[in-house]
Amino acid sequence: MTVTIILAILIILLLTGMPLAFAMGVATTAYLYMTGIDAGMLAQRMTASVDSFLILAIPFFYLAGELMNACRLTDRIINMSRALVGHIHGGLAQVNIFASMIFSGMSGSATADTTALGSVLIPAMKKEGYPAPFSAAVTVASALVGPMIPPSVALVIYGTLANVSIGRLLVAGIIPGIVIIASQMIFTYFVARKHGYPRYPRASLGEITKSVKDGGPALLFPVIIVGGILLGVFSPTEAAAVAVLYGLVLGFLYRQMGLRKLCTVMVNVGLGSCRILLIVAASAAFSWVMVRENVPQGIGHAISTISHQPLIVLGIVLVVLLLVGLFMVASSAEIVLTPILVPVVMQFGIDPVHFGVLMVFTLIIGGATPPVGILMFIAQDIAKISHAQMVRAMIPFYIPLFFAVVLLAAFPQITLLLPNLVFGS
């Protein structure tokens, strides 16, 4: 009964528009009052959750991504992608998808990917004769790889909340990210052939070499992070700090980083990090309530009445995550659900690293689905199309997205191959 009341309070507060962190804080406070527990427990749980060296990776990765965006490497990434994949059917659409994979290794954000690449490639695709809705849909679908390939703030948050190795998580996201991009490129290939979309002449070896040289700094960004972690040179948090230093050096070398711009970036990152960490802290207190009331065990028992097969259990949880993603921002849903669902899936022998990668990707698909779908609103604004046009254009792209989810869920070896090779099984 107590849990029902607390969840009702949380839902009502969220429906009234109260920010998630405050809604969870109020719900937790109500629980403490109803059970007679000292209210100081709220502050204790909140501060303990963010008093961690590992959690410093969140603002560092956030800052590193913003610095790389400020370096304006977008044009270099696009030119390199055009030389490598522009000759495939649907040339500029393929460039859009491939560039998203590279850009995700800089920003780790689907929103940044959609905004930065979309503002350049959507007008360019329209100019080359691609329908505006198709151009916007390609941009949104490919941007979903953003939180998968390191650096990924979403995976760092999951690892912090689930008490899972962040190094394993960052490495685990690489192959699934490639699978997601490959499925979209194959799908786009057949669509482009059907509609006769243009493609570029195959680039010469000299053109490829020059484009890779110019875009090299963007490629080195994830290499430094992942390579340093794999070689044991530094921890994930230290890798994030090194990434910040690399972004600063590039900014000044390319003369794109003045003192005024640096101050603006620092302020934006500071405010953004505070919002994320406040939600993480409030979520830690709220999840303590859920664990204390045996909610994960209750969910696990309810699922076990349906099936004990890990794959079926995982499928049920993923369907729930897809439904949640329709109505809730991915980052908020991840923070609320991770402490609740991880104990549930572990009851059925599901690897928490495998589940973390799937959870992040499944929730981020919500950014490409109505009614929340923030990525869709960004892309349709750039493409100057209606929301109805945007939704219709997105429908075919759900095919490769859902195919990737099913493939990654059915074959955990895809996700766990690299972390098991590097860190051991």
Concatenating the DSSP letter of every residue in 166-192 gives HHHHHHHTHHHHHHHHHHHHHHHHHHH
Q: How far is CA 394 from CA 329, 374, 398, in A?
A: 18, 13, 7
Tokens linked to 67: 């610095």
Lowest-pLDDT range, 133-142, 146-155, 352-361?
A: 146-155
Q: How far is CA 396 from CA 94, 120, 134, 352, 420, in A?
A: 16, 23, 10, 31, 35
Tens-digit pLDDT profile for residues 332-371:
788 888 888 998 899 899 999 999 999 999 999 887 888 7
Measured distance CA(381)–CA(370) in Å, rounded? 15
pLDDT at residue 133, as a whole number: 95
- What is the pLDDT averaged over residues 37-45? 84
Average pLDDT, rounded, for the chain: 86
Q: Is the pLDDT of residue 424 over 80?
A: no
Q: Which of 360, 354, 363 is nearest to 311 (CA)?
A: 354
Q: Provide the terminal-to-terminal Cα distance of the chain, rounded to the nearest Å.
A: 41
Lowest-pLDDT range, 59-68, 163-172, 193-202?
A: 59-68
Q: How far is CA 194 from CA 190, 371, 396, 406, in A?
A: 6, 30, 14, 26
Q: Is the pLDDT of residue 425 over 80?
A: no
Concatenating the DSSP letter of every residue in 83-152 gives: HHHTTSSSHHHHHHHHHHHHHHHHH--HHHHHHHHHHHHHHHHHHTT--HHHHHHHHHHHHTTTTTSSS-
Tokens linked to 2: 């107590």
**Could you tell me the pLDDT band of residue 76, with boundaries at 50, 70 and 90?**
confident
Tell me which amino acid residue 367 is: G
Q: Which residues contact 352 (CB under 8 A, 6 or more apart)?
A: 162, 164, 342, 345, 346
Lowest-pLDDT range, 40-44, 64-68, 412-416?
A: 64-68
Query: From the CB of residue 234, how many other CB atoms can be counted at a distance below 10 Å?
Result: 15
Lowest-pLDDT range, 155-159, 198-202, 251-255?
A: 251-255
Dihedral of the alpha carbons of 13, 16, 22, 24, in degrees to the nearest 10: 30
Tens-digit pLDDT profile for residues 240-283:
888 888 888 887 877 777 788 888 888 888 888 888 888 888 88
Tokens linked to 340: 């609740």
Helix (H) or strand (E) holding 18: none
Q: Which of 47, 52, 67 is nearest to 268 (CA)?
A: 67
Measured distance CA(336)–CA(321) in Å, rounded? 12
